[in-house]
Structure 1
Amino acid sequence: MKSPIIYVCAALAEIAGCFAFWGWLRLGKPVWWLLPGMLSLAAFAYLLTLVESQAAGRAYASYGGIYIVASLVWLWSVENVRPDRWDVTGGCVCLIGAAIILWGPRG
């Protein structure tokens, strides 16, 4: 049951890493922002290898739902843009899909 915790940590690492590139390219932040960004993206990739899954593709697919919700949390907490009802609805649908992929019975 540690997979959800790993997914949340991976999402934070991925979003932070991508935001470092966004900051450099779109917000005019200094180039040194790329170093922590790349380290964060490496941590993200490593964390996904720790997920309890027999197949990488299944781990990545179920991670997608967590990433989407984490992105909406980032939108609100870091960028100060409150998600609207469609963002929240879409995030819930994605979490349901991620749960089905991660914990669905395998035949």
Structure 2
Amino acid sequence: MFEFKTIALFAITAIAEIVGCYLPYLWLKQDKSILLLIPAALSLALFAWLLTLHPTATGRVYAAYGGVYIFIALLWLWVVDGVKPTMWDIVGGVVALVGMAIIMFAPKNA
């Protein structure tokens, strides 16, 4: 059954993945220090390790994780990039979270 712990794990996993991709972006596109690749690699290693902690590392969990990833990415857009999400961003994020909830809560023997 679904637990808050699972959603928190999804969120932490998404943050690790985003940080691991964002830091090389800063180096490549914004002329920041190449040393950013070190924490980027550590963050991506953390991301890979966190994936092993999910209840079952199969397609269903990864699909549900994708919905949380979309929501966290939109928060990142707003908080880190300083770009306020549009109404359509918010609608898309809600649709992704609803999709995640359907995947996680639907009866599995149906």
TM-score by length of 1: 0.94
1:21 to 24, 29, 36: 24
Q: Does 1:70 align with 2:72?
A: yes
Number of equivalences: 106
Is the Cα contact below 8 Å between 1:48 and 1:59 reproduced in 2?
no
1:29 shift after superposition: 1.1
Amino acid at match of 1:96: V
Write out aligned runs for 1:1-107 (5 A).
1=3, 2-53=5-56, 55-107=57-109
1:85 shift after superposition: 0.2
Query: Structure 1 CA distance, aligned partners of 2:98 and 2:31?
Result: 37
1:103 shift after superposition: 2.2
1:61 shift after superposition: 0.8
Is the Cα contact below 8 Å between 1:10 and 1:47 reproduced in 2?
yes
1:34 shift after superposition: 0.6
SS state of the match for residue 51, structure 1? Answer: coil
Amino acid at match of 1:56: T
Query: Structure 2 CA distance, aligned partners of 1:106 and 1:63?
Result: 17
Query: Structure 2 CA distance, aligned partners of 1:21 and 1:43?
Result: 16
* Identity fraction in percent: 47
1:45 shift after superposition: 1.4
Structure 1, unaligned stretches of length 5 or more?
Answer: none
Structure 2, unaligned stretches of length 5 or more?
Answer: none
SS state of the match for residue 61, structure 1? Answer: helix
SS state of the match for residue 29, structure 1? Answer: coil
